[in-house]
Amino acid sequence: MPCRSRDGIEYAAVAVAQVYTFNMKHLQADKILAHLGTYLRSLPPYLDMLEEYYEVADQRMTVFRSPRHWVLFFEFVLYDARADEFMVNLWAFGDCLNDYNGGEERQEGNGLLWQFTRQPFASCSRTARGSFKARRNRFSILFKGECLKFKPTAEQYAAAGIKFTRAQQAPDAMLTPAQLLRFLCHHLDHPFFAGEDSLRSIIDACRRQRLAPLWHEMALLLQTREWRHPNIEEMAEPAAWEPFQILARTIATGDLTEWQAQNPATFNTHWSHWATDYEATEKLLHEERQRWHNKMQQLPPEARQQIEATLSNISQLPLSPGILYQSEIIIDGEKFTITPDYLVNSSETPDLEDEQ
């Protein structure tokens, strides 16, 4: 029989409240780290591994949470050199998503979501086939049903961080796919990411079957293009990676104070921090040219003339289009790798439709 005393009623009410609190699920940072540790090893969003096949142009991280669940999205806008395609790849991790990572026979979740991979734009030309080609001085893209035409200036390329090789100095020189994509991401103010409603719909599409729809109860906690991303070695142990520890605590508490206290100088997600082989080679060649120039200035005139005559003879050798030629010269025990330029046969330039 229920206790009718005042004290008994109060005691029973407190007991019920305690049981309710005990059964409530709360997010815990250590469990979030353990979850990331399990799934990041399967198909992780590496930035330093992507350069072998991909050239990243833009990136974004988004976090949704509720008092019970969380979802972390990584979006990368990139050029896939193997497929010769521009695409937007989407990774998702969360305690309310499917355990499966792969996405062909079962619903996707916790990994790279192949089903939601998409192209950011297309060609305006109905006859375009194969590679998307663009010249420096004019090009166009089909975006959201509209043909956008561009005539970029040198200042606009510089503002986007785009640097050209010596072979690209002519106004009508060809852009690399990465240069084109990176210019568009900057110039159009990062237009290729998914909208918030789309991300919410993806959460429900990938959620565990036993759960009710989550879009109405999850709040947008964090969305940023700048953070500290791990390299291959650091990604192997997410629990030991301090920025992920901060991220896990931020998700668990819903408090952005610790996340916002990070030093922005440590953020490394911009594509310039993950140079591709092409860009790294150009940088190294520039540094080598400067080192060579300084050394030549230190030599007597007779020695300089002899070396320059040798290099002149090398430059007269038959060349193949698109090949980077190098010569190694040792002066006073110091080795230099010399190349006159990226030598491209202009006759190999593909024909393009005239951009008006």
Phi, psi of 142 (to 5 degrees): -100, 115
Question: Tell me, what's the pLDDT at 215?
Answer: 66
Q: Which two tokens stand for residue 139?
A: 């090009």
Furthest C-alpha separation in the chain: 113
Cα→Cα distances 193→45, 122, 190, Å: 16, 15, 7
Question: Tell me, what's the pLDDT at 355?
Answer: 52
| 3-state class (DSSP) for residue 86 | strand
Per-residue pLDDT of the chain (356 residues; tens, 9 = 90+): 444 444 443 433 333 333 333 344 689 999 999 999 888 877 788 787 555 578 899 999 999 999 999 999 999 999 987 788 899 999 999 999 988 666 555 668 888 898 899 999 998 876 655 567 899 999 999 999 999 999 999 999 999 999 887 778 888 899 989 999 999 999 999 999 999 999 999 998 888 766 667 767 899 999 999 999 988 777 778 788 899 999 999 999 999 999 999 999 999 999 988 865 555 556 666 677 778 778 888 888 888 888 777 777 766 665 544 344 556 777 787 877 665 543 332 333 344 444 55
| Cβ–Cβ < 8 Å for 193, 88 | yes
Flag whether the pTM goes above 0.75.
no
DSSP 13-41: HHHHHHHHHHHS----HHHHHHHHHHHHT
- What dihedral do alpha carbons 208, 211, 212, 216 form, nearest 10°? -70
Whole-angstrom Cα distance, residue 151 to residue 135? 9
Question: Tell me, what's the pLDDT at 253?
Answer: 96
Question: Tell me, what's the pLDDT at 343?
Answer: 31
Please work out, in degrees rounded to the nearest 5, the angle formed at the alpha carbon of residue 84 by the alpha carbons of 82 and 87: 100
Whole-angstrom Cα distance, residue 222 to residue 251? 9
Beta-carbon count within 10 A of 300 CB: 7
